[in-house]
Amino acid sequence: MGQTVADLGEFGLIALLTQRFSQGEHVVVGPGDDAALVRTRQGHVVASADMMVEGRHFRRDWVAGSDVGHRAAAQNLSDINAMGGVAHSLTLSLGLPPDLEVAWVTDLATGFAEEAALVGASVIGGDITSAPQVVVAVSVLGAVSQAPVLRSGARPGDTLALAGRQGWAAGGLAVLGRGFRSPRLLVDAYRRPEPPYAAGPQAAAAGATSMIDVSDGLLSETGHIAQASGVAIDVRSAAFEIPEPLHAVAAATGADPLTIILGGGDDHSLLATFPGDLPEGWTAIGTVAEGEGVTVDGAPYDGPTGWRHF
C-alpha cells in the first residue's frame, strides 16, 4: 500500500495538492491564507456550491480519483454555465478516511484542475478534514457579462431546447449498477461528463428567457422551470435521437431507452427556453404554454423523472 493521508498529515497533503492548482490573473491571494482574494470583473458575480458523498454519489470501485475530480468540478462549473456565466474561481474541501492512499487524492486534484482549466477557472482554496468516507465539497464563483438567465423567465409561446448529451451518464450508471463495464462510451460518460460550457453564455446572448442544467433528470429540471416560471411545458419524445449505446443498455436491462433520457441526470446538459430562433447547437424538444406542470407528448408522464436525494 502506498503513502496514506494519515501518513502525510493535513498540511502536508494541502501543500501537495495546491501544487496542482495554477492561478489566473484575477487571483490576488490564492491558497495559503485565511481566505482567497479575487478581482471581480464588471457585471454580476454568480456563486454556487455542491457536494459529493462516497456511497451516495459515487463508488471508488466504479470511478478513479481523477474521475471524481472531473465530476465534482463539472457539476459546479455547470451551475454557473446555466446562469449564462463563466466560472473563474473554485474552492475544494475534502473529508478523507485516514487510510486513504495519497495517490488517490492527488489524482482527484489533478482531475479537478483539468476540468477547471476547460473554462479557465482557478482553484483558490479549500479545506481538508478526517471523515469515515470521502466527501467532496465545492464552491464556485463566476461572472456574467449580461443579466443572468434565471429559471423563472419562461413565457407561453417559448420553445424548450436542449444543448449537450442527455441520457449517456444515466446509461453508464445503469451499466455499472449491473456489474458491467460496457458500453464503454456510456460508462465513460458517467465517469467524466462533458458539459456544453460554451452553450450557457451563447444562450444568454441569444435571448434565452430561462435556463437550468440537467443534474438530476431532464423532466425533473423541466419541472423546476415550469414551477418557477408559472407555465406549462410539454416535452416531445420524438425530438430525441436515441444513440445506439442506449439501445444496447435498454435491451440488456429491459428498460425503454426514452425513460433513460427523460429521467437521466449527471450529463450536465442545458435546458433553456427561447422566444425566437435557436442558437446553433441547441435542439428544440418542447413548447411552453399557459398552465402548470410538465407533460410528455401532451399527456401526464408516470415514469421516473430524475434523481431523488431523500
Residue stretches of the annotated binding site for Mg(2+): 34, 48, 50, 79, 127, 213, 216
Question: Which residues have CB under 8 Å from 249's CB, separation 6+?
Answer: 171, 174, 175, 183, 186, 255, 257, 260
In angstroms, the Cα distances linking 215 to 93, 150, 274 are 21, 16, 21
Question: Do 213 and 81 meet the contact criterion of CB atoms below 8 Å apart?
Answer: yes
Q: Which of 163, 92, 90, 147 is nearest to 120 (CA)?
A: 90
| Residue 283 CA from chain centroid, whole number | 19
Question: Do 284 and 191 meet the contact criterion of CB atoms below 8 Å apart?
Answer: no
- Is 37 in a helix, a strand, or coil? strand
State the Cα–Cα distance between residues 267 and 189, nearest whole angstrom: 7
**Distinct helix (H) and strand (E) counts, the chain:** 10, 12
Residue 235 CB: number of other CB atoms within 10 A? Answer: 22
196's torsion region: left (phi>0), alpha (psi -120 to 50) or beta?
A: beta
The binding site for substrate comprises: 57, 266, 307
The binding site comprises: 34, 48, 50, 57, 79, 126-127, 151, 213, 215-216, 266, 307
The binding site for ATP comprises: 126-127, 151, 215
- Is 8 in a helix, a strand, or coil? helix
Q: Which of 58, 44, 6 is nearest to 149 (CA)?
A: 44
Residue 13 CB: number of other CB atoms within 10 A? Answer: 21
State the Cα–Cα distance between residues 286 and 48, nearest whole angstrom: 28
- Is 301 in a helix, a strand, or coil? coil
